[in-house]
Structure 1
Amino acid sequence: MSVEATTERVLRLLALLQRRPSWTAAELAAELGVTDRSVRRDVERLRALGYPVHATAGVGGGYQLGAGSRLPPLLLDEEAIATAVSLRMASGGTVAGAGEAALRALAKLDQVMPPRLRAEVRAVHGATETLVGPGVEIDAELLVTLARACRDAVRVRFRYAARDGAERERTVEPVRMVATARRWYLMAWDVDRDGWRTFRLDRMREVVATTWRFRPREHPDPVAYVQRSVTEAPYRYLARVRLRARAGEVRELVPPQVARVEDDRDGWCVLVVGGVDLDWLAVHIARLGFEAEVLEPPELREAAAQLARRVAALSLPGQTA
């Protein structure tokens, strides 16, 4: 039997072992169409590659896949493709150094995959382009520090640059990091200000995880809280507008880091969006193309009316907007 055929069979054996907790040698032999002796040899091949396959003798015994101590080099079909695509996406991401690390991992993955899988992964790559928008790179060590602090429930101390540029020392109890297409945020309890806060990771300096453990508090949903913070807090105006559209239709047009969309009744939804300029808000809401009703602020209605008059004047010959 060829090496490729043997590799294919060992992959199938691995897939079976991952499918359920325990198999007898006879069951595996029947599934693979081989003898019990071949199953034992293939189990030894998996063990040599780093997979801890446990064997139990006697009635009711069999083979069981345990937790490994090192990363095995073999992957199932769907795992190989998903891993390769994820690594390719990471090569253009917002974590400093992750691009080079992802490309190195891709090269190693390409070396250990069977030829058939390698061809399928390359087909996916060849048919795919990545459009990556501008984002702020975050140091991978910072992510690890904050992730461990969230996991271990220890306070974090850092210097934070506010929107006005002033830096202040903050001490927080971290809960979760939330990533958008462009930025990373930390949701945490601000010890000095006695409340929940959102912090941009690219504004954090001299981040240190302390040894002070804290008891986790009841907290809002991190994704919803961060979205509310980034779409509302930084802006002078906060608009609430009812749109005659399903919430899903509007979410397809408006990124979650730009605005929040709430379900409403009778085929309507509510768009909550912040802005520093009322004319800008009016233009972007109008460009969505849905029938709209301004709920607040009242100044937005007047800004929209003035904009409508100026736009209408543009369509008249000899008129000045």
Structure 2
Amino acid sequence: MLETSARLLRLLSLLQTPRDWTGDDLATRLDVTPRTIRNDVERLRRLGYPVHATRGPAGGYRLGAGSSLPPLLLDDEEAVAVTVGLRTAAGGSLAGVEESSLSALAKLEQVLPPRLRRRVAALGEYTVTSAATPGPRVAPDLLTLLAGVCRDRERLRFDYRTHGDDASRRDVEPYRLVNRGRRWYLIAWDTDREDWRTFRVDRMTPRVPTGPRFTPRPLPEEDLAAYVGRGVREAREPFTARVTVYAPAGTVVQRLGYWGRPETVEPLDGESCRVTFGADSPGSMARWLAVLDADFDASDSPELAAAVREQAARYARAANPGSA
């Protein structure tokens, strides 16, 4: 039989599992009587752990939320995951959390057993992190506000600045937050434009108080991460064109890399395919077409064809600088 202090820690570990435990289940796990479980639950409550109990055949014990945060028990994998997460948060896209992340990290690493400390140290020693890509940072309280209005179905008013630095005021029904790398996006129904919109969170300045509650609508699509990614690409690539490439579709996908998204390459036969490109201008698309290392037909787009001719003339001059 476990000593009282060890048994309380074991009981607390079981209660932190998100499920209801009957007294008999806990007594069997800890090899004690149900009466001992009831006494131990009272001890945990006096220590500040909000253990809820329900009566009846379907009742049991569950650890709930209280007015203050009591100590938590983590297993080995959870401790490693939290440690790595804190290290990442110390240099991530959230502003104002570096100091608190480092403080929590120091406390956690101080009590890690040697076997876990070695695992975490190995992750740090043998993992190479590239220099952080410059990008906007978002205050945690702004994300908390947005998550709250999404949860509570409350309309939100905010000032917004577009990529072109145009200012506007928006009134929306917020639905989801999406994180892509160092950027956060809000998916919302714009009540003035009567359409779905995606907003960069770092360009938003909310106006409080929030608005009235709204009735939720069906989301624009199930995969919201793909929905945001497609919108970001369309905003970044306003010019599109379809090009026939005289090479197998699989070869083109390999050579395109990032651009070779499966939905943009349509096989025509075993030796050719049609590719839909997106770029910020015809000139940049013409330059990227060189990576295909294959013949292609850009005549369907007059703007792209003109940019290809200009690029070809530049290459011709580079090959024979003395020509007229």
Which residue of 1 is the match for residue 81 of structure 2?
Answer: 82
264 and 87 in structure 1: CA distance in 2 versus 1, 3 angstrom threshold = same
Code of the residue aligned with 1:226 in structure 2: it is V
Match of 1:281 among 267, 282, 285: 285
User: Structure 1, residues 171-221: CA drift from partner, whole Å, max 9, x if none?
Assistant: 111111222224222221111122111222222224335231111112213
1:303 aligns with 2:307: yes
Counterpart amino acid of 2:217? R
- The verdict on how the C-alpha distance between 1:143 and 1:53 changes in structure 2, with shifts beyond 3 A counting, is closer
Going from structure 1 to structure 2, the CA distance change for 1:127 and 1:271 (only over 3 Å counts) comes to: farther
Structure 1 position 245 matched with structure 2 position 250: yes
Tell me, in whole angstroms, the C-alpha distance in 2 between the residues paired with 1:271 and 1:88.
42
Counterpart CA distance in 2 for 1:104 and 1:301 is: 58
Residue identity matched to 2:167: E
The residue aligned with 2:213 is 213
Q: Identity percentage over the alignment?
A: 41
Within-5 A mapping of 1:134-283: 134-221=134-221, 222-233=224-235, 235-240=237-242, 244-245=249-250, 253-254=257-258, 262=263, 274-283=278-287
Unmatched tracts of structure 2, length 5 or more: none
Cα contact 2:238–2:279 (8 A) shared by 1: yes
Whether the aligned pair in 2 keeps the contact of 1:11 and 1:75 (CA below 8 Å) is no
Question: Equivalent residue of 2:215, what SS?
Answer: coil
Q: Equivalents in 2 of 1:102, 1:78: separation in Å?
A: 19
CA RMSD of aligned residues (A): 4.6
Secondary structure in 1 matching 2:73 = coil
1:109 is displaced (CA, Å) by 1.7
C-alpha deviation, 1:261, in angstroms: 5.0
| Distance in structure 1 (CA, Å) of the matches to 2:145 and 2:226 | 23
CA distance in 1, matches of 2:64, 2:228: 35
Q: CA deviation at 1:43?
A: 8.9
1:32-47, aligned counterparts within 5 Å?
Answer: none
Contact between 2:178 and 2:228, CA under 8 Å: does it hold in 1?
yes
Q: Runs of 5+ in structure 1 lacking a partner?
A: 1-5
* Contact 2:240–2:276 (8 Å) recurs in 1: yes
Q: Which residue of 2 aligns with 1:128?
A: 127
Measured in 1, the distance between the counterparts of 2:13 and 2:298 equals: 59
CA offsets 1:77-121 (integer angstroms, 9 cap, x no match): 111111111221121111111222322221222234333222321
Structure 2 CA distance, aligned partners of 1:215 and 1:226? 23
- After the TM superposition, which residues 5-44 of structure 1 pair with which residues of structure 2 at under 5 Å, given as runs? 14=13, 18=17, 24=25, 28=29
TM-score of the aligned structures, taking structure 1 as reference length: 0.72
Contact 1:238 1:297 in 2 (8 A): no
For 1:236 and 1:166, the matched residues in 2 are separated by 17
Query: In 2 relative to 1, CA 68–210 (structure 1 residues): closer, same or farther, beyond 3 Å?
Result: closer
Count of aligned residue pairs for this structure pair: 306
